[in-house]
Amino acid sequence: MSMKSHGFETSMDVARRQQYHAVQLAGHKRPSTELETTNTESEVRALPIPRYQPHGESDIESTPLESARAALEAPPNRFTASKIHTGPGADITGQEDELQKASIAPPRSTQNPLLSLSNPKYGLPAALTANFSALGVTSIYAWQASCLLARGLLSGERHLVYTAPTGGGKSMVADVLLLKRIIENPERKAILVLPYVALVQEKLKWMRRIVQGVEKNVPDEDEDDSSFPRKRWKKLPKQIRVTGFFGGSRTTNTWADTDIAICTIEKANSLINTAIEECSIGNLAVVVLDELHMLDDEHRGYLLELMVTKLLLLQQDIQIVGMSATLSNTEMLAEWMNARFFISTYRPVPIDEYLVYENAIYPAATSRQLFQTATKLASTSVPESIPPHRIIEPSHYKELGNAATNAMVALAVETASAGYGALVFCGSRNACQINAATIGEAMPHAEDQEELNKRLDLLADLRSLTCGLDPVLGNTVIKGTGFHHAGMTIEERELIAAAYDSGVLKVLIATCSLAAGVNLPARRVIINGARMGRELVGPAMLRQMCGRAGRKGKDDAGETYLICVKADLEAVCDLLDADMPAIESSLVPEKRGLKRALLEAIATGLVSGCEAIKEYVRCTLLYRTLDKKLAYSIMNSALKELVDEELLVLKEDEAYEATLLGQAVVASAFAPEDGLFVHEELKKALQAFVMDGDMHIFYMFTPLQVAMSTPIDWQIFRDKIDQLDESGIRALQYVGIQPGFVNTMVKSGASLKEVTPEQIQKARIYRRAYTAFQLRDLSNEVPLATIAQRYRIPRGTVQTLAQQCHGFAAGIVKFCQRMNWGMLAAVLDHMRDRLEAGARSDLLEMAQVTFVQSWTARLLRENGFRNLRALAEADPKDLVPVLMMVNARKTQKNQLYPTEAERYAAKLLAKAEIIVASANKIWEREVQVEVEA
C-alpha cells in the first residue's frame, strides 16, 4: 500500500527517501562516506536501526548475521563475582551447599484419597478438577483438606479466617470455596478482593483459565425444578463470567454482567454499596478477602473493615473468607467475624535462613537462631569468634569494595551460575537499577544461542512498547538481570516478571514492596539491607520477602539471605526478635475511618436509627478491640462531625439521614474529607466554568490522592504557567493558583507547608494544578515517556495518573449527577472520552483499537490511515513503519544488538496484525449497529 495514493506526502514518504548507514558486523572499519540506501517498502529490515556498540567502539563490518556469534554476545564483564568458600561453621551445622540440597516431596494424592480434588466429598465438577490438573494442581495438601472439610465451609454456612505461610497454598482453599458456591448457585455472585492492581490482573488470568469450560448448575429446559422459575433460569448463562474491577480497567461489564468480580479494595467496597442501595445484595454468595492483614493499613484498612462490618450486619447468606500469611491474632479476627479459624505452618518447599555480615554467612535453622546469631554478632567485638558457615572472598574491584554489595553480587551470581533464579530485594527504585547493573556486570554469559535469543526477544518486546525501551533496563536484560519497581509501566513490569518466571532472566532486583504485590518466587531470596527507603521494614514485610523463597514445582528447597550492615545490626536483632504485630482496627479517630463507615451505612439505607447504628458499630473490629463506652463515644463524635459538615441530618424521630451532599459523596466513592473538598471546587465551577480552554476541566479531573503524592518542581511549574494562554491562566487563577506565589517558591527554593488545615487546603490546590499539567499532556497525545522526562518523574507514575484519573473522573461526573447539576455533569462527561483514549476528539474512534492510543493514533492518521475503516482494511505490514515511528528517536538513540532489529520488526508485525484484527472487530460491530438501526 503506497501512502502517496492518498494524494499527499506523509512523513513516512520523506523517511523512505532518506539514506542511512547500514551497519555491518565484522571486518575493517568502513569509511564514513560509504552509504547504503534502501527503498523497499515491504522489507521492515530496511529501516535504520543502529547496532549496539559496547564502550563506544567504532562501527565494524561483519560476516552475515547467522555466523556472527561473537557479535551477539553481551559486552565483556567489568569485574567478576567473589567466590564463596566453606567456612569453619559448616562442620558444626552439618549443612551442605544449599543449592544442591533436596527435600522430601509432599505426599501424593494416591496416599490419601482426600488429597484429590476429584474426591466426591468436595463436590467439584470434573471439568474444574481437570482444569486444576492442567495447571499443575493434581493434589492438595493435608492442611487444605482438613480446612475445606471442616463443618459448614463447603456448604457456605460458616465464615472462615485462616493463615498459612507464603507459598503454602492459601489461595487454593479460597478458590475451591468460591467456585463451589458459584457453580451450585447459578443466580449468585462472588467478590474476590485483592489489595493491588497487579494482583487483580494476575488473579484474573488465573481464574479465567480455571473456569474455562466449567458450567454452572443451570437446569436444562426439560428439567422441572421449582426452585428455578422457568423465566428466570432460562436467561442464566451456563458459563462462568469473570470480570476485573480496578482503577484504569476498560471493562464495560457491570455487576449484572459478572459471576465472579475480582476487585481492588476500593472497587469492591463500591460494588457492595451499590448492591445494598439497589437491594440486590442478596445476589452475593461469597466474599474472599486476600491479604487480610491489610485491615490495619494506614490508608486503606478501614475500607476492608467497613466492608466486613456491613456484611456482618446484614446477616445474609453471604460467606466471608479471609486469609493472610502474616496474621498473629487469627483467633480474635475469627471471633469478630463469627468464623472458623485455621492456622497452618506447612510449607511445601522448606526454607533455610541465613544472615550475611561482613562477607561471612551464618546459618539459622529457625528465626530464633537467626536472631541469636545477629545478637551475638552485635554484642561481640570479635565476630570471628562465631564460626561462619561460608565465607565470601573480599573483592579487589572498586565497585565491590562494600561488603554488602560484594555479598549481594556473589550470592546472586552463584545462584544464576547453578541454573536457579535469584530474587534480590532492596530499599529504593534507584537502588534496584544500580544493583541490577552491578550484578549484570558479573553475570556469566548466556550458555547457548537459544538463551541469548530469548533475551533478544525480550528486548524487542520492550522496545515495541509505546513508551519504548528504557536504556538502563536494556543494558541489564541482555546480561540476564532485570529490575522491577513501581516507577516502571505495567507493561514493562509484566514482561520482566514473565521473563524472570520463565528463566530468561536469572536475577530480578525489586523493591521491598514487591514482596506483597506480585507472586514471583525464587530459589534464593537475597535481602540487601533491611530498610525500605529510610525506614526499617516491619516483621510482616520481612516474612513476606522471605516467603518468596522456594518455587513449588520448580525447586525442592528455598533459601533467604539477609545482608546486614554494621549500622543496622542492632536494629535487625530487634526486628528478628519482634512478634508479628496484632491486626488492629483502622476506624480509630486519628485515621478517620469511622466517619466514612457511618456515612456509607446511613446513605445506602443500611441503618438510620440510633439503635441500628449502635448495632452496626458493634459489628466493627473497633468495638471488639476497644472499651465499649469509648467505642460509642467515638461513634457519637463522628456522627456530630458528619452533621456539622452537612453530610447527615438528624431528624425529629432521632433517626439520621444522608443529605443530598452525603449521598453524592458515597455514590462517588469519595472519603468524606475528599468529598467536601470536591464539593467546594465544583460549587465554584458552577458559578464560572472556564469553557474557552481545557485547563479547568483537567484540573477538576486530576485525582486527589495522586496529586497529594506528587512532588512539585517549582521551576517546571513556572515554565508551564508561562506557556499557558490567557484562558489557561484564568482557569488556574480561578481555582486559587497565584503565579506570583509560584515564582516566589522558585526563587526561595522552599517547599509547601502542610500543617494547618489552611496550609493543607492550599497544598491540595497547588499539587492538583501541577499534576493537571501532566494530565493535560496525556490527553493532548504527548507520549508517556516524554511526559516522564518533561516532569522528571518515573514513567510508571505517569501511567498511574492515567489509570486513576478515569475512576476519579467517573466519580466527579456521578457526584454532579447526584447533586442534580446536570449541565456541569454533561460538560465533564463529554471530556471523559478524551481521558479514556488519551487523545483529542478526532481520534476517539481509532483509539478504541487494541495497542492504538494517543500518539500512535495520531501517527496512523497522519500517515494515511485516517479512520477506523482504513485501519480495518489495512495490510498489517503497512502499519509496521508507522509503529516504528512511534519510538523513532528511542530507536535511533539506543543502539541495538544485531539480530534485535529483525526481532523488533517481527514483534511490531505481530502487533500490527492484532491492531488490524481489533479494528475489524470494532468496525463490524459498528456496521451491525447501523444495520439494526
Apex CA 886: angle with CA 880 and CA 891, to 5°? Answer: 90
91 pLDDT more than 90: no
Does domain 351-577 correspond to CATH entry 3.40.50.300?
A: yes
Q: 362 near 89, Cβ under 8 Å?
A: yes
806-818 tens-digit pLDDT = 888 889 999 999 9
Nearest Cα neighbor of 11 from 902, 888, 780, 913 is 888
Q: Given pLDDT bands bounded at 50, 70 and 90, which one contains residue 763?
A: very high
> pTM value?
0.79
909 pLDDT more than 80: yes
Give residue 932's pLDDT. 59
Mean pLDDT throughout 745-754? 90
Give residue 9's pLDDT. 43
768-794 tens-digit pLDDT = 999 999 999 988 878 888 899 999 999
- Determine the 3-state secondary structure of 906 from DSSP: helix
Question: Which residue's entry shows cell 454499596?
Answer: 273
* DSSP type of residue 319: E
Task: Quote the CA–CA distance of 876 and 110 in Å, as a whole number.
Answer: 52
Decide whether 351-577 matches 672-838 in CATH topology: no
The CATH architecture that domain 589-658 belongs to is Orthogonal Bundle (1.10)
Q: Which of 349-363, 627-641, 863-877: highest mean pLDDT?
A: 627-641
Give residue 18's pLDDT. 40
- Looking at per-residue pLDDT, the higher value among 352 and 52 belongs to 352
Give residue 132's pLDDT. 93
HSE (side-chain half, CA atoms, 13 Å) at 31:
3
Q: Given pLDDT bands bounded at 50, 70 and 90, which one contains residue 243?
A: very high
Per-residue b or e along 839-855, where b marks 16 or more CB atoms closer than 10 Å to that residue's CB? bbeebebbbbbebbbbb
- Provide the phi-psi class of 7: left if phi over 0, else alpha when psi is between -120 and 50, else beta: left
Mean pLDDT throughout 728-753? 92
Give residue 383's pLDDT. 54
Task: Quote the CA–CA distance of 240 and 128 in Å, as a whole number.
Answer: 11
* DSSP type of residue 215: B
Least confident range from 83-92, 325-334, 491-500, 538-547: namely 83-92
CATH topology of domain 109-343: Rossmann fold (3.40.50)
913 pLDDT more than 60: yes
585-641 tens-digit pLDDT = 888 877 778 999 999 999 999 999 999 999 999 999 999 888 889 999 999 999 999
Residue 380 neighbours by CB under 8 Å, 6+ apart: 386
Mean pLDDT throughout 147-151? 94
Q: Given pLDDT bands bounded at 50, 70 and 90, which one contains residue 39?
A: very low
22 pLDDT more than 80: no
Q: How far apart are the first and last CA of the chain?
A: 34
Mean pLDDT throughout 715-743? 94
110 pLDDT more than 70: no
Task: Quote the CA–CA distance of 245 and 27 in Å, as a whole number.
Answer: 57
Nearest Cα neighbor of 458 from 418, 425, 491, 422 is 491
Give residue 63's pLDDT. 34
316 pLDDT more than 70: yes
Residue extents of the structural domains in the chain: 3-72+856-932, 109-343, 351-577, 589-658, 672-838
What string of DSSP letters covers 766-780? HHHHHHHHHHHHHHT
Q: Where are the beta strands (DSSP E) in 39-109?
A: 84-86
Average pLDDT, the chain: 81
Q: 131 near 213, Cβ under 8 Å?
A: yes
Residue 685 neighbours by CB under 8 Å, 6+ apart: 696, 700, 824
185 pLDDT more than 70: yes
65-76 tens-digit pLDDT = 333 344 345 567
Nearest Cα neighbor of 476 from 522, 535, 436 is 436
CATH topology of domain 672-838: Sec63 N-terminal domain-like fold (1.10.3380)
- Looking at per-residue pLDDT, the higher value among 32 and 781 belongs to 781
379-428 tens-digit pLDDT = 765 555 678 889 999 999 998 999 999 999 999 999 999 888 999 999 88
Task: Quote the CA–CA distance of 293 and 291 in Å, as a whole number.
Answer: 5
- Determine the 3-state secondary structure of 212 from DSSP: coil
Give residue 736's pLDDT. 93
308 pLDDT more than 60: yes
Q: Given pLDDT bands bounded at 50, 70 and 90, which one contains residue 689?
A: confident
Nearest Cα neighbor of 802 from 828, 838, 834 is 838
> Residue 836's CB: how many other CB atoms inside 10 A?
20
Which residues face 320 on adjacent strands?
Answer: 287
